[in-house]
Every structure is written in C-alpha cells, then in structure tokens.
Amino acid sequence: MKILTVLTYYRPHTSGLTIYAERLAKAFVKRGHEVTVMTTQYDADLPLEEMVDGVRVVRVPVAFRVSKGVIAPTFGLVATKLVFEHDVVQLHLPQFDAPGVAFRARLFGKPSVLTYHCDLNLPTGFFNKIVNSVVHFQNNMAGILANRIVTYTQDYADHSPYLSRYKKKLRTFLPPVELPEAGEDAISDFAKKYKIAENNPVIGMATRLAAEKGVEVLLDAMPAILEKHPKAQVLFAGQYKEVFSEEAYAEQLMARIKEYEKSGHWTFLGILNPEEMAAFYPALDALVVPSLNATEAFGLVQIEAMLNNIPCVASALPGVRQPVLMHEMGEVAAIGSANELAEGLLKIFADKEKYRCDTVALAKTYDPDSVAVVYEKMFKELGVR
C-alpha cells in the first residue's frame, strides 16, 4: 500500500500526537508499505523533504502562525499531488487543513481515515473562541468527508461532542507504544545524575508545561506528600521553557516550582530522547497525569510507565482514566483534585507491590506492529489492496 499520513506537526516536534504518528508510520514501513508523511515546516531549519527511518517526510513552508496553528498557503497544492499518488489517506486531527485533504481523497476516489486524538480547547478569550470555532468547523467537515474515524477508547468517544456525531464511522484502536531497552548502566547513570535515593519516593511527570496538563494540581498536592515523605522528589520530563502560548501559565507557577527546586524536591529534565525516557521510568515510584480537560484523551506516557511496572495516578477524565482502569495499574483522582492526587500517590508508596502487571502481555497489546495490523485490516475493508 501507498499510505499518505497528513498532520500539522511531525517529529522532531514532541507531543503525544506526533509520537503516535511516527510510531505508526515506522510500523507501516516495517510491514512493507510505502509511507509519506505530509506536514508543515514549522521550523525554518527543517528540510522541506527527507527520509527518516524509511518514511518520506514532505514539509510545506509556513507563512505565519495563528494561535497554536500554522498557515501554509501551498498546503493544498502539495496535498493534491500527494493524495493522487497514494492509495489511502490517514489524517491526524485536530488539523485545520483536514477537510481540504479529505475532499481531495473523495475527488480522486481514495479512502480517507481520520485518527482523532483529542478535542480542542484553547484558553478563554475572544480570539481563541474564534479559533476554536473555526477548527471545530474544519474538523466536522473532515468527519463528514472521511470514510472512517479512529480514536483510542470508547470511553473518550462516548464523552466527545465531536465523536458522538460519527458513531457509524467510528472505530477504537489502542495506540502504538514502545520504548527502547534501557540497560542497567543507563538506568544507574540516570539515577546518579539526578541524585535519586533508593528509599525516597520519586514522582514522575512527562509532558509539556501547559495549562491543560494540570501541573498546579501536583504542586498543590506536594505539601501532603512531603508531610508523609519529606524527601520525596518530582522529576519533570518534557519542555518547560518557551512552550508556545504557555508563557503566562509558566510564569504563574514558576515561583512555587523554584522553591521546590531549591529544596531538591523538583527537577526539570527537559525533553528526553527515547533512550533517556527508557532510563527515566525505572527511576520512578509513580507517574502522574493530572490533566484537566479533553485535550488529553489517553496519555501514552501511562503505558510507557506501566511497561516498566510503574503505576500511575491519572485524573478521572474520559479516556485518561482508562489505562489505570484497564490494567489495574494505579489510582484515579477526581479532575483538579490535589487531595485525591496526593491520596493516590500515598496509597502507591504504601504498597508498591500491589501494582504489578504482565509487562510482556502489555507490550504485545500496544506493539506498533499490532496497531498497524488493525489499520491495515480497516484499509482493506475500504477497498485498498
């Protein structure tokens, strides 16, 4: 098959969406398919075209940004050529350009599939309200034009205003998750680098410093945690400086975070590569995902942690609560509740042996090859050979 994957941001941009798209594209290539990723040149230093892990990446120049989105005037022109050349189109939403690409697929008789990662909820404000409305309209047009829509869990689909409109087209596939093997030396070196003591609880958070991620919930939970475990520490993996459109949020929290940094209770690790992430998880006693709204639909990092037998405390958001509930690997806290987040962590610290899973079976469930197989089956049902 010739598979065209279309999304606004692709690697080296780091988000759950881009990681999902990269893992799936590489899995398709390993299974013998020809894959082209069409995306935007969000950074002018990125090449317009390159081969990465067997995947052809085509980037369209960006003229300017609108909120977290980008405007690429030649996107439609490039899409016309690429859709015509491929057998099937897979789009990752939210994406402003999705309906135009889905329309071209209809025009050329090529099936199109939307992978819907999350609802869009920009911060309050008149301009963001307009952006939200435009993207919602674009997503709905894409949903009408697409042949199938894929999301992670039925739980999320049942609570999404968008997905509830397209029940007949909807399919639920668990996401692709994998990590490289971390050797004992790498794990030991990581622990030494960040001065991790064996008997002191370590709490992980792996995300961007962004308002919807609920970092303040963890901050509010820290006094209760430190009362029981005075030497507990937080390792924050992910971008925390110059996160686009999140500067005010970071400034709001930074004074509190710096106090915890000074006392050794909080460490920013920055963006870690896959090998570093593989050494990060074994250093933890628990991972937290205290997300606050439907821009989080699952939390791939929860599965990454569980593959290392590390339990999670997740907010009770639809979809986000599912990894803990499905695999019985942690606790669920009410959305925005620092008290319940602290209680969940303290439960885990008190009885870590209670939270164990079959990591081999878990790896098979989320293996990118297994996810690629279910996509292939769906493509074939749509007439792709």
- 264 & 128 share domain: no
Out of 8-12, 222-226, 331-335, pick the least confident.
Answer: 8-12
Q: How many domains does the chain have?
A: 2
Share of the chain above pLDDT 90, in %: 82
- 83 & 216 share domain: no
Among residues 45, 54, 138, 148, the alpha carbon closest in space to that of 99 is found at 138
**Mean pLDDT along residues 146-153:** 97
- 337 & 371 share domain: no
- 22 & 115 share domain: yes
- 55 & 202 share domain: no
Q: Find all residues with CB under 8 Å of 190, minimum gap 6, and list them.
A: 196, 276, 279, 280, 282, 283
- 371 & 351 share domain: no
User: Can you give the residue range of the structural domain that contains 282?
Assistant: 184-364
Is the separation of the CB atoms in 382 and 148 below 8 Å?
yes
pLDDT for residue 263: 94
The residue with tokens 């990125």 is: 46
Amino acid identity, position 32: G
**CATH code for the domain of 125:** 3.40.50.2000
- 213 & 341 share domain: yes
As to burial, measured by CB atoms within 10 angstroms (0-12 exposed, 13-18 middle, 19+ buried), residue 13 is middle
pLDDT for residue 123: 60
In angstroms, the CA 277 to CA 282 distance is 9
In angstroms, the CA 145 to CA 379 distance is 16
- 107 & 26 share domain: yes
pLDDT band at 314 (very low <50, low <70, confident <90, very high): very high
- 120 & 258 share domain: no
- 24 & 85 share domain: yes
SS3 374: helix
pLDDT at position 67 over 80: no
**Mean pLDDT along residues 343-363:** 95
> With the C-alpha atoms ordered 358, 310, 292, 277, is the resulting torsion angle positive or negative?
negative
- 163 & 212 share domain: no
- 257 & 349 share domain: yes
